[in-house]
Amino acid sequence: MEDRTIVILYGSETGCAQDIAENLSRQARRRQFRTRVFAMDDYDKKFWRFLLRKNLPQDILSDLDCAVIGLGDSSYRNFNYPSKKLYKRLLQLGANMLIERGDCDDQHYLGIHRVDGAFIPWAKQLWEIIMKKYPTDLPILSDTVLLPPTYRAEWLSDSPSESDTRTEGFDMTVVQNTRITATDHFQEVRHLAFSCPAHYQPGDIAVMMPQNVREDVDLFLEQMGWSEYADQYIRFVPEEAHGVPLTMRFRDLFIRHLDIFGVPRRSFFEVLSYFTKDENLTERLREFASPEGQEDMWAYCMRPKRTIAEVLFDFKPVEIPFDYLLDLFPQLKPRSFSIASSLSVHPHQLELCVAIVKYKTKLRKVRRGVMTKWLATLNPGDTVSGVKIMKGTMNLPPSLDIPLIAIGPGTGIAPMKSFIEERIALGALENYLFFGCRYHDKDFHYRKLWEFYQDKGLLKVFTACSRDQEEKVYVQDRILEQSSLLWDLIDQKGAKVVLSGNADKMPDQVAYAFKQVFMKEGKLSAKESEDYFDLMVKTGQYQEECWS
């Protein structure tokens, strides 16, 4: 912080951290601070490399005033680990922490998405400290005052050059898009294959930008009275010098960039309140944006999963200046998918295994995930743009002689497919797969492939079809059944264990099953079993990649 300038950095996958960062930015602007907001990936990389350097003087950041708040879920083992690590490192280098690290917890009774239990009091205390240290004679702007937009909208008479509209990343072309679960199964899971110009390793992740379906967007534009602008080009010029202009067709703004069918966060109601034409509606929106109105907002919006488009319909009439579109609507966020293929087996191709999100709300309305709804509509020949490859949290054993124990219930099978295909292509013989599903005949993903490998003696498969018998059976049960085999593979042969799937209860239950194996077969005490497992995690012999 210098000359009343605040830099706010965030790391966000779901958009919640970005929402809080932009919330803090608006609070700072109301207190007459100049603010800059960056995703950590977009900020100066030298700074992060600098933080990681060893043997730095302990007072090298003594001139830096800063604060850290983390967002997470305390039901996970590594709750808010990145923010804790950053906070500790900043302290080690002498940074002046204005306030104790904040921890927003999804288990809080108000929940992380209601911004919320921990954030509101933390931010209030932070601003009290900052304003004492950095006073100003200028007035603090009331929440009823509309701040200037961060971008200025300009309509273009001609279509822009290609350089004005291109996206980062590479393009892929759809080769195959097939449902792989039975048609009478409740869950639709699809296998997608793309022609891919990029190189990737087994265990890598494809990062893709979602799109809203055009037909849905056209209905939204009609609802808003914006259909006449659909095919015109618009440019958004940042009011601050550090921003980048954005140019696109108006319809594409809502197809490719703005999340109009997601569930809004508190900040949406805050900004929307300036654009309603009915004082009663304005008051209602401000209640939803206030700390006191969080329960009402939860009941109206979060619990029934109302979308932004539905909220706008409920609060008509609204008149939203085009300058404020990027301040009001949240941006679509990239989604990450474990790659389900090996380049050794599928040259110049990338495959995914994707569960299509579909559920009913308390309003009895069917909801579909924005990303998976769009993926399900793709046909061979369609182009997917802006794809990036990232390293995952798992990798192959360092040697083909080291056995692989792959555990992948449900769509957690995706990275296991990439590992097993690669291993078998390179000649590895000891490969073990534990797969969990509901029914052998309905959602046993890639069953024929596993049977082919097993018939060749290249793979041993243990399946847990939980609903095929009266008593439910899961992958952790199969692990306990194979305790002797697994102990020998792990303790005598140094087998590597990789686990992927839903992060709810499964990872902890699998870990507990392995600890029971260690106690039974290795004659270890409970403490020794915990230590043995912890050492596997520390050395990378046990790796997992799970999601909520």
335 belongs to an annotated ligand binding site:
yes
159 belongs to an annotated ligand binding site:
no
338 belongs to an annotated ligand binding site:
yes
Question: What is the spatial distance between Cα 343 and Cα 350, in angstroms, rounded to a whole number?
Answer: 8
401 belongs to an annotated ligand binding site:
no
Which residues touch 269 (CB under 8 Å, ≥6 apart)? Answer: 285, 286, 288, 289, 297, 311
Tokens 């869950």 appear where?
187
194 belongs to an annotated ligand binding site:
no
The CA-atom distances, in angstroms, between 31 and each of 135, 138, 242 are: 9, 8, 21
Question: What is the spatial distance between Cα 327 and Cα 543, in angstroms, rounded to a whole number?
Answer: 40
* DSSP β-ladder status, 496-502 and 460-465: unpaired
Tokens 């590597």 appear where?
496
* DSSP β-ladder status, 69-72 and 102-105: parallel
Question: What is the spatial distance between Cα 433 and Cα 429, in angstroms, rounded to a whole number?
Answer: 13
- Are residues 268 and 259 in contact, defined by beta-carbon separation less than 8 angstroms? no
- Are residues 212 and 301 in contact, defined by beta-carbon separation less than 8 angstroms? no
161 belongs to an annotated ligand binding site:
no
423 belongs to an annotated ligand binding site:
no
475 belongs to an annotated ligand binding site:
yes
152 belongs to an annotated ligand binding site:
no
Query: Which stretches of 180-279 are assigned E, i.e. beta strand?
Result: 189-195, 205-208, 233-238, 246-249
476 belongs to an annotated ligand binding site:
yes
Which residues touch 187 (CB under 8 Å, ≥6 apart)? Answer: 181, 355, 356, 443
337 belongs to an annotated ligand binding site:
yes
466 belongs to an annotated ligand binding site:
yes
Question: What residues are designated binding site for FAD?
Answer: 335-338, 547
Question: What residues are designated binding site for NADP(+)?
Answer: 411, 466-467, 472-476
Question: What residues are designated binding site?
Answer: 106, 335-338, 411, 466-467, 472-476, 547
Question: What residues are designated binding site for FMN?
Answer: 106
